[in-house]
Amino acid sequence: MRSPRVVVLDYGSGNVLSASRALTRVGGEVTVTSDIDVALAADGLVVPGVGAFAACMQGLESVSAPRMIDRRLAGGQAVLGICVGMQVLFDRGVEHGITTAGLGHWPGDVVGLPAKTVPHMGWNTVDSPTDSAMFDGLHDERFYFVHSYAALTWTQHAAHRGTPASVSWAEHGAPFVAGVEDGPLWATQFHPEKSGDAGAELLRHWLDTLR
């Protein structure tokens, strides 16, 4: 059985090398690129992201990533968003009073965490559905977070797989969306590539969906 071909999207934001190494270790054949043709031909596309929502959106638009992601999802091709790469999948991001349009795959806003201490940095548990494919065997594990913003609400909608998405939650000041499984579209607010053995197993679960 051949290794799944994975593109880690290089658009000027996100720790692409850490993501690439982590996916290679768990059996992916990884390419780091912004080439739209290579990204469309891959079995899976990873959209990483760090920093500001607006800057990430600007970087994504500079490499035609919104069109790339839309085309993949329209064809049922897998996409994995990580950290701000998850946040941009929502309708909007609100940072420092400025609202920036996101990719609009999920309804709702990404806003500041209502916590005494931000950023939320370090290890935290995740409350995931018992039938989650993403967290299969990982329900008691901790994952590594670094963020000051998150989606604090979830609105069910016309999902990518025709059934309601599976949503997982964590808490820092308030509950926030920590993971989503929506047909071919998966995302995590935490960094699986920095989450040790548990993160590696989660990435392996994602690769298994590509085979």
pLDDT given for residue 164 in this prediction = 87
Point out the catalytic residue in the list 105, 160, 191, 205: 191
Active site residue 56: no
The CA distance from 95 to 113, in Å, is 11
Query: Concatenated DSSP letters for 143-200?
Result: EEEEESEE-------S-TTSSPPEEEEEESSSEEEEEEEETTEEEESS-GGGSHHHHH
pLDDT given for residue 161 in this prediction = 63
Active site residue 193: yes
pLDDT given for residue 160 in this prediction = 67
- Return phi, psi of residue 187, to 5°: -160, 150
Domain span holding position 34: 5-208
Point out the catalytic residue in the list 105, 160, 193, 205: 193
Number of domains the chain contains:
1
Q: What is the pLDDT of residues 82-96, one digit of tens each?
A: 999 999 999 999 999
Q: What is the pLDDT of residues 162-198, one digit of tens each?
A: 788 999 999 999 999 999 999 999 999 999 999 999 9
Contact between 171 and 150 under an 8 Å Cβ cutoff? The reply is: no
How much is the mean pLDDT over the chain?
Answer: 95
Point out the catalytic residue in the list 56, 83, 181, 205: 83
pLDDT given for residue 159 in this prediction = 61
The CA distance from 84 to 147, in Å, is 8
Percent of the chain with pLDDT over 90: 91
Active site residue 83: yes
Q: What is the pLDDT of residues 49-71, one digit of tens each?
A: 999 999 999 999 999 999 999 99
DSSP bridge partners of 142: 125
CATH number at residue 111: 3.40.50.880
Beta strand ranges found along the chain (DSSP E): 5-9, 29-33, 44-47, 78-82, 90-95, 98-101, 106-112, 120-125, 142-147, 149-150, 166-171, 175-182, 185-188
Contact between 44 and 210 under an 8 Å Cβ cutoff? The reply is: yes
Contact between 186 and 206 under an 8 Å Cβ cutoff? The reply is: yes
Q: What is the pLDDT of residues 16-59, one digit of tens each?
A: 999 999 999 999 999 999 999 999 999 999 999 999 999 999 99
Structure confidence at residue 208 as a pLDDT band (50, 70, 90): very high
The CA distance from 67 to 124, in Å, is 34
Q: Does the CA dihedral 178-206-101-97 come out positive or negative? A: positive
